[in-house]
Every structure is written in structure tokens, then in C-alpha cells.
Amino acid sequence: MKKLILIFYSLIFISLVSCNEKAEKKIIAIENETSNQKEIDSIEITKLIRQVYEWHNTISIDDFPYKFNEEQDSIFVGIDWDKYQKNIELFKQTNYFTNEFLNKHKEIAKTLDSSIKKADIIYRNNKDGMSLWETGADNWCGCQDYDEKYWETITIDKLNINKSEANFNWSLDKYNSHSYKITAKVENGQWRINKLEGFKHFYSIEEYDKMMKN
């Protein structure tokens, strides 16, 4: 009887050990699969970022072009919606940007347009240098100076992927001497730009009103 009990408990022990080993192997397999997918995503996102910045610097689009009543006039009266729409069509042709990004971009343009139209003429002279509605830097990189073809050396770090959304920084060198935050999302089966850090520096109509009062 004692032998049977011993055999019984031995079998249970062996079964538990076997189950634990299988569970551990499954966990390792899942971790490896997750790690491999993150590496694939990292490569795809890096490729996307380099393509976006090459496109941006090659085509030199003015995100929010001003409208002037006369061609030679220096007083702008709002956003030039004809030019803006042509620019947005160029954005769409790339398949680099999510619909959310394009919608947010248009919301910024509408805000700028409304603010400019209610502003006094003293704020709307293009000959006075940088206007109230400009940020003073390249909104796409948060920088004023950069090397020629800098996009070729862009690397990404602090990559955090949650399902179909990725948050990360890109930098120009391994020392992170200049970094810039971006959010990408999977749309129609491919990674696309969803948010660019530099565009957070555009404000609401109320905030622009306060700036003009100060």
C-alpha cells in the first residue's frame, strides 16, 4: 500500500514538473515572438521616419501658407486655403500620415486662420519677421539648423509599442544630442505618422488673443 501511495505521489510530482516546464517554454516562446515583432516594428518605423524626413526636406511644403489680398502685398489676411488643400493632397499621396494626423493638421490651420482674421494689422505684416503664429523653428524636427541629408542617420530610441500605437524619440546621433518625440499608428496595415512633437506649439484662439493683449 505504501508503495502504491509513493508511486502515486511520484507520478503527480513528475506531472507537475512536466507542466511547469511546458509553461516555461510557452512563456519563453511568447517572449521571443514579442521581441522579434518589436525588432521588426522598429526597423519599419525607422524606415518610415527616414522616408518622411527626406520627403519633407525635398518638397519643402509650407504647412500653413498665408493669404495676401494682393500678390505684392506684405499684409496677410489668413490661411491660403487653395494652397493649403494642394499641400494636403501631397501629404495624402505619400501614405505616410494617418487620417488623425491630417485632421489635426487642418484643425490647427483653422485656428490660425480665425486668429489671424481677427488680429490687428500690426501683427500681420510679413515684413516684420516671424509672426505671432509661427514657432521660430522647423516644426518637423524642433530644430533651426541641421546637417544636409540628416535623415540618413536618424535612429529611434525609447520605443514603446502598445498594440497598434508606438511612441518613441528620434535622434541624429548615438549621444542623443537632439531628440524629437513622435507617435506612429498602424493604419491600413502599415505604420504611419500620427503625432509630431513640434505641432504642439500651436495654440488656441484664446491663447493667441492673450498674446496680442500683452
Helix H, strand E, coil C: the string for 153-203 is HCEEEEEEEECCEEEEEEECCCCCCCEEEEEEEEECCEEEEEEEHHHHHCC
Confidence of residue 44 (pLDDT cuts 50, 70, 90): very high
pLDDT at 31 over 90: no
Sign of CA dihedral 86, 89, 93, 96: positive
Task: Give the pLDDT of residue 37.
Answer: 82
Task: Give the pLDDT of residue 118.
Answer: 95
Task: Give the pLDDT of residue 171.
Answer: 87
Task: Give the pLDDT of residue 9.
Answer: 54
The predicted model gives 31-40 an average pLDDT of: 70
Confidence of residue 19 (pLDDT cuts 50, 70, 90): low
More confident residue, 134 or 150: 134
Confidence of residue 148 (pLDDT cuts 50, 70, 90): confident
Which one, of 180, 177, 179, lies nearest residue 195 by Cα? 180
Q: Which residue has the cell 501631397?
A: 90
Is the separation of the CB atoms in 171 and 153 below 8 Å? no
CA distance linking residue 35 with residue 185, whole number of Å: 19
More confident residue, 20 or 84: 84
pLDDT at 165 over 90: yes
Task: Give the pLDDT of residue 26.
Answer: 47
Burial of 146 from C-beta contacts in 10 A (0-12 / 13-18 / 19+) = middle
The predicted model gives 41-53 an average pLDDT of: 94
Which of 79-83, 88-92, 124-128 is predicted least confidently? Answer: 124-128
Task: Give the pLDDT of residue 28.
Answer: 46
CA distance linking residue 167 with residue 165, whole number of Å: 7
Query: Which range among 34-48, 154-168, 171-185 has the greatest average pLDDT?
Result: 154-168
The predicted model gives 133-154 an average pLDDT of: 85
Is the separation of the CB atoms in 69 and 75 below 8 Å? yes
The predicted model gives 122-131 an average pLDDT of: 92
Task: Give the pLDDT of residue 172.
Answer: 79
Which residues, other chains included, contact 18 with Cβ-Cβ below 8 Å and sequence gap of 6+? none
